[in-house]
Structure 1
Amino acid sequence: MTCRIPNPISRTAVACALAFCGAPVVAEQVGCVTTEWKLIGSNHKVCVDSFSDPKVPGVTCHVSQARTGGVSGSFGLAQDPSQFSLACRQTGPITLPAKLPKEATVFAEDTSILFKETRVIRMWDAANNTLVYLAISRKLIDGAPANSISTVPVMPWGGR
């Protein structure tokens, strides 16, 4: 199960959503950089979040996303653009579960108040012993082709 994290209105809203969903994925904000200054409301920015794969210990992903500022962005009412990047790396010994699904959603975050989200899906490439992480933008009405990919080959860690 993966919880949908709402457009960042406040840490309290995220905590409530995580408690309600029983989420295995908790994204931590690494930081944000302003890309456009706004006279009224928050600035447009790009933020980087990190999360660990909930079913595969030893893998950490970082996703950067454009966030809309202004008055509507300050109140969490803006639709963020489908602009993001994804990087996943082995950060410890990887332990694959006995039954790893061929495909599973590992992270989802709303990018508008309704109908749009950024989702990260883990795929298993057994032929190459590689975990494939695909970030996509999903819209309920019109699909969006925006995507980003990162791969993590399953290899020994340290002396293991």
Structure 2
Amino acid sequence: MSSKEADFLVQLQDVIYAPATVKTARTLSHFGEHDLGWVGVAAVGAIVDKQRRRKWLALGAGTFVAHAASVVLKRVVRRPRPDDERITVGVRTPSKLSFPSSHATNTAAAAVHLHDITGSKWPYALVPVMMASRNVLGVHYPTDTLAGAALGAAIAKLAIEAERRI
């Protein structure tokens, strides 16, 4: 599967690997690194939106737990990142492990929480953007980002249910 996925990454980069695309993807990479961007969004939301403070705090906790789960899963699965001379790696990564994508995990978790907080479906649009950014940067296979998104969404659902019970 990895060779077909590597072929996909090569084709993707051939089509959209341009300075503006890479800059945007790197910005998303830095935002999602170690879940810091989403924890920051949760903190600002909790400070500004006192009526829904618990939901914002649940967003921070949910994305953090999702991120932690993805890191544990990476260490269990131990799938290496794409390593194909045809693929341009556009950003540094904190580890050499690929499955699942922690960025896709915490972004999917954030999207589920943001939908719960706002009632809008627009936050779900963030997920494929983050997934694509990881593929464009050549640091994840498509199955890494798909698995990460599924993991993040599932953990967010559990966190939302827990917040409602407390």
Same fold (TM over 0.5): no
TM-score, normalised via structure 1 length: 0.32
Greater helix percent: which structure?
Answer: 2
Q: Which has the higher contact order (CA 8 A, sep 6+)?
A: 2
The alignment's TM-score, normalised by the length of structure 2, stands at 0.31
